[in-house]
Amino acid sequence: MKLCIAEKPSVAKDIAQVLGAKTRNNGYFEGNGYFVSWTYGHLCGLKEPQEYTDKWKKWSLDTLPMIPAKFSIKVKGDSGVQKQFNVIKSLVERCDEVINCGDAGQEGELIQRWVLTQAKCKKPLKRLWISSLTEEAIKEGFQNLQDGSKYDNLYAAGASRAIGDWLLGMNATRLFTLRFAKKGQVLSIGRVQTPTLAMIVKRQLEIDNFVSTKYWELKTKYRGVLFSSTKGKITEKEKGEQWIAKIREEEFEIISYTQKEGKEHPPRLFDLTSLQVESNKKLGLSAEETLNTIQSLYEKKLVTYPRVDTTYLSDDIYPKIPDILNKLTHYSRFTQALRGKPLPKSKKVFDNKKVTDHHAIIPTGVTPSGISPQEQKVYDMITRRFIAVFYPDCIVSNTTVMGRVSDVDFKATGRQILEKGWRVVFEDDKNKGGEENDKKEQLMPTFEKGEKGEHQPQLQEKDTRPPAYYTEATLLRAMETAGKQVDDDELRELMKENGIGRPSTRANIIETILKRNYIKKEKKRIVATQTGIQLISLINNELLKSAELTGQWERKLREIERGNYKVEDFKKELFEMVNTIVHEVKHQPVQLMPTICPKCNKGTMLRGKTAWGCSEWKNGCKFILPFEFKGIKLSSRDMENLIETGISQNRYRFGKSKELKYIELTKRLKLKIKED
């Protein structure tokens, strides 16, 4: 018997149907020489600190750093998990061969290998590696099973990542909590979450500290076209007015008029990050919502494997493209134009060297049925992109006109679409609000060099603007490029090696720091809370908060995956880093986290003569909390607990007679926060 282990029951069911394992048992399918079982994601994980030694039970600076002599895994304590693991373990003992059918990526490999390790599997191991869950793809995958050892480096990279996260997370969280947190507070530090938070905080402080200044721009309108002076920003209004007075009575002269034909290539196919970016811009979906949606579409066999970091297809996909296009019957108005002619094979689409574990996300050709409106919108984005890459380039005319008044030069630019090309595919797209290439530019009449005429000069007053807040779209891009601002697609591809986090984990990272109240969302904007700002201010070690350094760490994990970097060397670096951080922070001056004002979430609570008040009172926050309420005197700890949790740990010291008054106080406080 052969044992197939999938990552989810639904996937196991699809595989069992293809293999003919039709008998359903408790925790597995059986038939035709196969057992088909499943995990529920992570059945196993690294042991907790206290499971290595009793001395790590208590949070104490004296026990840091915690570096196990050997890392060990365990089956998670949930009864359902334990039951399913025991099913797999018994099937491992009964089978002759194991086929790893887990998610075809680093995390999927880690999940399966940990389960097999814990089950003490010594049986021959094969690997199913597929990019979609269609019947055709599953059959093809089983015809081309790989030896399990081929993916040993992938497993090694996943295990190294988990160990790195454990070492840094466990040690740094205890370290900063013990040194800087108030009683009952935990300061969570993570390998990816902390540099991500640091990027958000840096941007927040740039915005908060920004001082706007006025400037002026000299412009003039000639024949309905607005021209801008090449002088750029004018910092003194008087100078601008002098220029206006100088050119007002003079004629405007065209000194050059050039038109150049250009090409706009179709937008690239989606990887997970670009899909999350586009879904956030067009549909307002969070990164996590997009990930859940595309995962659902994958499990419904409508799209290929989603957790990918490439926008390219491998050459072996090319012969399959016509069949996929033909099956997209709902898009026949677009695919009809591609039939009966050879499809282009552009290097911007097909490149084996740019394909990693999987190719870009594309539709499978299966017709959607019974999917949610949100799933339909995401599916539509993927399908239109897929069709568009086989369309011709969009041909545009780029116009540049130079003019002059007296000795002041002016410039105007415009663009016209001559041949729509791939843009036809998006013309009836109801969700094209985020289309990057839809920037409106003024249409140009035909000018002749040397022509002159009247014009209407104007001096436009403007204010300098602070940097834009991160949105999930721009934050995902920043994580992908380790904080560097990169607009060019090809350069962005090269920088993915040094991005922080993986495409499949970035959504979870954003959600984690959101749940820990280090950031908050205001519509699409991501705003750092005062707690997040204070936490980053306490971290002096650049290794903990630098996106660039964390990106270098990510690159080493990829090198382990390729077999070019040793796991032991990576661990050695980790141990040295953790030791350094612990030593530095232990000798850092103590600075307890302040209590943040619950009303404005910007100021900190300060002790006055009769009450605690917000430090932002000069800026309009009038929140105060009296020292005494109906005979109950509040200590600093009471104030902190009330504001941060709504429940004081010292409530019972008031005695039963004052219990109702205390409850009344907490209700009054919450009402005050809500209404002030």
By C-alpha distance, which of 443, 416, 453, 407 is closest to 254?
453
Which DSSP string do the residues of 91-155 spell out, in sequence order? HHHH-SEEEEES-SSHHHHHHHHHHHHHTT--S-EEE---S--SHHHHHHHHHTPEEGGGGHHHH
> What is the H or E stretch that residue 577 is in?
helix 567-586
* Alpha-carbon span 366 to 324, nearest angstrom: 8
Residue 33 CB partners (closer than 8 Å, separation 6+): 1, 2
Phi, psi of 309 (to 5 degrees): -125, 25
Question: How are the residues of the chain apportioned to helix, strand and coil, as percentages rounded to the nearest 5?
Answer: 45, 20, 35
Residue with tokens 């990027």: 199
Strand positions, DSSP E, 454-497: 456-463
CA distances from 60 to 123, 167, 171, 461 (A): 43, 16, 11, 59
Q: Choose, from 28, 155, 222, 305, the residue flagged as catalytic.
A: 305
52: annotated active-site residue: no
Other CB atoms closer than 10 Å to residue 371's CB: what's the count?
Answer: 16
Question: Which letter does DSSP use for residue 370 in this model?
Answer: S
* Alpha-carbon span 263 to 259, nearest angstrom: 13
CA distances from 130 to 134, 502, 539 (A): 10, 20, 43
Residue 354 CB partners (closer than 8 Å, separation 6+): 310, 311, 312, 493
Which DSSP string do the residues of 635-667 spell out, in sequence order? -HHHHHHHHHHSS-TTGGGG-GGGHHHHHHHHH
* Sheet with strand 605-607: strands edge to edge: 605-607, 611-614, 624-626
Terminal alpha carbon distance of the chain = 69
The number of residues making up the chain comes to 676
* Alpha-carbon span 504 to 480, nearest angstrom: 12
Alpha-helical (H) ranges within 228-363 are: 237-248, 272-283, 287-299, 321-327, 332-335
624-626 and 97-101 strand pairing: unpaired
* Burial class of 422 by CB neighbour count within 10 A (0 to 12, 13 to 18, 19+): buried
The one-letter code for the residue type at 187 is: L
**547 SS3 class:** helix
**591 SS3 class:** coil
Q: Would you name the residues annotated as active-site residues?
A: 305
